[in-house]
Amino acid sequence: MRLLAVPAALLLVATACGGGNAAPEASVLQTWFEQTAQAAQAAGGADPVQGRTWALAWWAADRATTGHADGAYADAAVATAVHDVLVNLVPQRRKELDEALPRGRDAAGAAAGAEQAREVLTERKDDGLLAAAVEVPYALPPAAPGVWRPTPPGFGGAAEAGAPRATPFFLTSTDQLRPEPPPALTSAVHQRDLAEVRDVGSEGSTSRTAEQTAVAQYWAGSELAVQVAVLRELLRTQGLGEVTGAHLLSVYHRATVDAALASFEAKYHYAFWRPVTELREGGLADWSPLIGTPAFPEYPSGHAVFAGAGAEVLTSLVGPGPRTPLVVGGRTFSTWQQLVTENVDARVWDGIHYRTSDEVGATLGRDVADVALGHVE
């Protein structure tokens, strides 16, 4: 897998923009990255649903620019491809998207972008990744030790239960890389994991340090949202052009959607219970995690699967880390593996996962990314 080359001219521009008070003009890549972020947020839905918006928009841009160099053609191809996909998926953003589309753009590039947008939307029309297909009723299995059931305080029904039936981008099926079952409840591994999450994952834990709490809370929300913030800073500082940037975003988002689907397939196949259920049924009736427990089965950790896949793609296409450390949300990242390590730890410190589930999830994510990377140049 080739590393994405950073044009020397772009490095000079990025360096020059670092000084002075004037904000540099946003590149086409950055402009349409932000338009995608705003459109995905406006559309709403779970991470796989929003991830689909990212994946389709930048896959179209990638296809329209393959074999071309940065320049007027690529600028027009990227802008048009992303614009046309987003207008189709998030029509309520049409005004903003139309206003962002540059006038007088290269005709050939614009035509290529429009064509690839149409083709991508047609190919993925019935992929099962719209919200209505992802959020479907789930029949709870009979209650038993180790079996998932809705969790306090809201005891909400199962979310994203339709994700296992969606069509992946690279995998042949969502169960292609299904991991082995979670450890038996009586095993030494599970008992170790249970003791750890009980002690450091509780809402009022006295074992969890301030730094651990900060890491736990940083990764507590949408994994896609946090990773998008990392990608934003990467694009701002790495100096990628439109062609290499479109390729990176295309592979990254398709691979991480597949990772999410693989995660949910395993979650609903094994239907393993959450720590709060096991601990309360084991006698700790007042035990609560640091954050609210997500409304779906535990094994494996979806955040860790996503992080593992994303880090593998970035390592393959960019290198082991950014050229200079990225500061995102007050945290500093020097390597992509750090994103994985923090996720593995954070979900235990949040009180919602067993450590083995996080470790298995990170491995599953890497495996999904390896399949993805084997399908692209």
pLDDT above 70 (res 269): yes
pLDDT above 80 (res 19): no
The per-residue pLDDT of the chain, averaged, comes to 93
pLDDT attached to residue 24: 54
Alpha-carbon span 249 to 243, nearest angstrom: 10
Q: What is the pLDDT of residues 26-81, one digit of tens each?
A: 899 999 999 999 999 999 999 999 999 999 999 999 999 999 999 999 999 999 99
* pLDDT class of 7 with cuts at 50, 70, 90: very low
A 10 A CB-CB count for 215 gives 20
Q: What is the pLDDT of residues 219-228, one digit of tens each?
A: 999 999 999 9
Task: Give the 3-state secondary structure of residue 202.
Answer: strand
Measured torsion, CA atoms of residues 88, 246, 375, 180, in degrees rounded to the nearest 10: -80
Quickly tell me which residue has 């890389």 as its tokens.
Answer: 177
pLDDT attached to residue 9: 28
Phi, psi of 324 (to 5 degrees): -130, 150
pLDDT attached to residue 165: 98
Alpha-carbon span 21 to 103, nearest angstrom: 28
Cα dihedral sign, 311-71-76-68: negative
* pLDDT class of 13 with cuts at 50, 70, 90: very low
pLDDT above 60 (res 6): no
Alpha-carbon span 302 to 309, nearest angstrom: 11
List the alpha helices (DSSP H) in the chain. 8-16, 28-43, 47-65, 72-89, 94-100, 107-123, 131-134, 188-200, 210-218, 223-238, 242-270, 275-281, 302-317, 337-349, 355-373
pLDDT above 50 (res 8): no
Residues 6+ apart with CB under 8 A from 72: 105, 106, 109
Give, in order, the Cα–Cα distances in Å from 161 to each of 158, 166, 263, 295, 308: 6, 10, 11, 10, 22
A 10 A CB-CB count for 240 gives 27
Q: Average pLDDT for residues 179-188, to the nearest whole number? A: 98
pLDDT above 60 (res 17): no
Q: Are 222 and 47 in contact (CB under 8 A)?
A: yes
Alpha-carbon span 246 to 66, nearest angstrom: 9
Concatenating the DSSP letter of every residue in 41-76 gives HHH---HHHHHHHHHHHHHHHHHHHTT--TTHHHHH
Q: What is the pLDDT of residues 356-374, one digit of tens each?
A: 999 999 999 999 999 999 9
pLDDT attached to residue 239: 85
Give, in order, the Cα–Cα distances in Å from 288 to each of 156, 279, 343, 367: 16, 9, 20, 33
Q: Are 355 and 193 in contact (CB under 8 A)?
A: yes
Q: CA 89: distance to chain centroid?
A: 19
pLDDT attached to residue 226: 97
Q: What is the pLDDT of residues 288-329, one digit of tens each?
A: 999 999 999 999 999 999 999 999 999 999 999 999 999 999
Q: CA 321: distance to chain centroid?
A: 18
Residues 6+ apart with CB under 8 A from 208: 200, 201, 216, 290, 349
Hey, what amino acid is at 55? A
pLDDT above 50 (res 281): yes
pLDDT above 90 (res 258): yes
pLDDT attached to residue 377: 67
pLDDT attached to residue 52: 98
Cα Rg for the chain, rounded, in angstroms?
21
pLDDT attached to residue 238: 87
Spatial CA neighbour of 276 closest among 362, 197, 171, 374: 197
Spatial CA neighbour of 258 closest among 193, 343, 164: 164
